[in-house]
Amino acid sequence: MLTPYLEACPLVAILRGVTPQESVAVAELLAQCGFSMVEVPLNSPDALDSIRRISDKFGNRLLVGAGTVTDIRQVHEVAAAGGRLVVSPNCDPAVINETKHRAMVSLPGCCTPSEVFRALALGADAIKLFPASMISPQAVKALRAVLPPVPLFAVGGIEAPDFAAYIAAGVDGFGTGSGLYRPGMDRTEIRRCACKMVATIRGLTAEVVPN
């Protein structure tokens, strides 16, 4: 389920603080610029309502779900709202298991090799390297050397100027938040940032030559 969205655009838009009233309009701007994955953190205002509205509007056009998911009750609520993506700040076996039981995409947060391998053994679809500002490109390269083929997303303190170094180290995608969207941000500015970010990532990934 993750692969076509990752191939379309390897960026997860993190809409922390978005309200239900603006959620669909913001998601539309992102989709127009090329984004294919949207995360609404559960500590946003009425996050489940935003997820429901975006899911109802876009269906399979966008992979939509929740971030900051830390227990199985929240997994149930995200599924009921139409979300298909579960992103966590940590590696919680119960959350991963329930996410996969519901045939949703599991993206747990990991910061150590032990957490990464534990998450993969539990069936995670991809790994959120978090906080990525603590995980250097050199560390990513060393980790990638011992991992099976699995998508790695760098999330947390990483913005467009950092993309090139992390891609060269073996990262497949990124989660991007404040550099893309902040509450009260003008929609023209959201569009400008989104389109610029998509152009940047597409330019960099086009330069990657498969082994």
211 pLDDT tier (thresholds 50, 70, 90): very low
Task: Check 39, 159, 196, 207 and give the catalytic one.
Answer: 39
CATH of domain 3-207: 3.20.20.70
3 state DSSP class of 199: helix
Active site residue 22: no
Rounded average pLDDT over 147-152? 97
Instruction: Kindly tell me if the per-residue pLDDT of 210 is higher than 80.
Output: no
Of 149, 123, 3, 129, give the one whose Cα is nearest residue 63.
3
The residues pairing with 39 across neighbouring beta strands, listed in sequence order, are: 14, 65
Residue tagged active-site, from 57, 128, 141, 207: 128
Burial class (CB in 10 A: 0-12, 13-18, 19+), 54: buried
pLDDT tens for each residue of 89-114: 999 999 999 999 999 999 999 999 99
String of b and e for 151-179 (b: at least 16 CB within 10 Å)? bbbbbbebebebbebbbebebbbbbbbee
Residues 79 and 74: their CA atoms lie apart, in Å, by 9
CB 180 within 8 A of CB 198: no
CB-based contacts of 166: which residues, under 8 Å, 6+ apart? 132, 137, 140, 154, 158, 174
Tokens (6 digits) for 175 = 């989660």
* Residues 194-203: tens digit of each pLDDT: 999 999 999 9
Catalytic site includes residue 39 = yes
- Nearest CA to 104 among 66, 53, 150? 66
pLDDT tens digit string along 106-142?
999 999 999 999 999 999 999 999 999 999 999 999 9
Provide the 10 A C-beta neighbour count for residue 61.
12
Tens digits of residue pLDDT in 32-70:
999 999 999 999 999 999 999 999 999 999 999 999 999
Q: How far apart are CA 128 and CA 150, in angstroms?
A: 11
